Amino acid sequence: MSHPDLVAAARKLAPELCARTDEVEQARRVPADLSDQVAAAGFYRAFVPEALGGDEMHPGLANAGIEELARSDASVAWVAFIGMTSGSSLAGIPEAAAREVFADGETLVTGVFAPMGRAEREGDGYRTSGRWSWGSGADNADWILGGCRMFKDGEPELSRGGGQRSHMVLFPRDQVNIVGNWNASGLCGTGSGDFEVADALVPDQRIVGFSQDAPLERPLYQFPRFGLLALGIAAVALGTARAALDDLVALAGGKTPMGSRRPLAERPATQSDVAKAEAVLGSARLFFYDAIDRCYARAEAGDPLPAEFRRDLRLATTHAVQAAAETVDRMYHLGGGSSVHRSHPLQRRFRDIHVATQHLMVAPPTLEVIGKTYLGVDVDTGQL
């Protein structure tokens, strides 16, 4: 099956996205018509199973498209990867229910994996209520996922391991109230505020992983769910950093810093810092895509992903985000006073990257878990 070229699609969208960055920020969400264009380009169906009409793409190819999209607008790219990753959840529900959800190739599924909701067994379903934070892209979604803790007769339902069961639950958009409280320093256009559901009865077949004990035996779905989510964060970060380098190069040729007779581009400190940034970003990017390729090759061979593969995937992902932040910081400081003005894109890159770094999936504690595995210290690798 042929797949869309998401990098080419992102480049085609770039002129309009760049022209509308202020509009996206001020709206605090991706405008519906832009979301429709991203959908038509194939981003939202990239991780939906082929059997349902999705593209089930290699995650390296899909995230290269997200990276390219982020060079134009990180908020649009962020919502695109959330839709992309959320689409993979359709591999975890019965096919008939998945076909109902994925009504056409432009269906947008978004949501929050964290179990912030409560689902109480009632007949052949669960009575569900909750409020979830960080609901990126929910404004334009057709279906919305919310992680829930599961109960029966008021008591927690337990997993085989003895812990309380939790699952993602799929809600149609009309069952969800969007709170509209997203006011952040960066990634302003992602609409990542709260959403809530009150007393919704959800059938078993729309509870992800409830009726299926194992993922589909397809390479993409052997990737750990949280690892797949983290990849999109890194792709957005890498694209943002590349854009910051481009911004600085464009600025440097025409700017002469106060107190200097030479343009910024002719100063040795600028030249050295740009060279260092290229090395840091380029090496992190190679590590990132190489880790994805190695994991996918293993999955294609029909082998499960052992702990060391999942570890390296998360390490490459977290490192990519940190390297991207270092690159943006360096370019922001090189830009001097120009960087602080709303009229210059470097200030937006700076704000966006420092919201991306705060995501739990790429936060510093991730490195502690990874370090323990290298050192032979006991650790729960389920976190990877």
pLDDT digits (tens, 9 = 90+) for 116-155: 999 999 999 999 999 999 999 999 999 999 999 999 999 9
The CA radius of gyration of the chain, in Å to the nearest whole number, is 21
Task: Compute the C-alpha angle 274/16/19, nearest 5°.
Answer: 65
Q: Is 94 exposed, middle or buried (0-12, 13-18, 19+ CB in 10 A)?
A: middle
Once rounded to an integer, what is the mean pLDDT over residues 347-373? 93
The backbone region for 159, taken as left when phi is positive above 0, alpha when psi lies in -120 to 50, beta otherwise, is beta
User: What domains lie within the chain, and their CATH numbers?
Assistant: 6-92 (1.10.540.10), 108-208 (2.40.110.10), 223-377 (1.20.140.10)
Token representation of residue 69: 């999209």
pLDDT band at 214 (very low <50, low <70, confident <90, very high): low
Round the average pLDDT of the chain to a whole number and report it: 93
Q: Is 173 exposed, middle or buried (0-12, 13-18, 19+ CB in 10 A)?
A: middle
pLDDT band at 160 (very low <50, low <70, confident <90, very high): confident
Once rounded to an integer, what is the mean pLDDT over residues 65-78? 98
- pLDDT at residue number 11: 98
Please identify which residue in the block is written with the tokens 């481009």: 246
Residue 57 has pLDDT above 80, yes or no: yes
- pLDDT at residue number 263: 83
Phi, psi of 326 (to 5 degrees): -60, -40
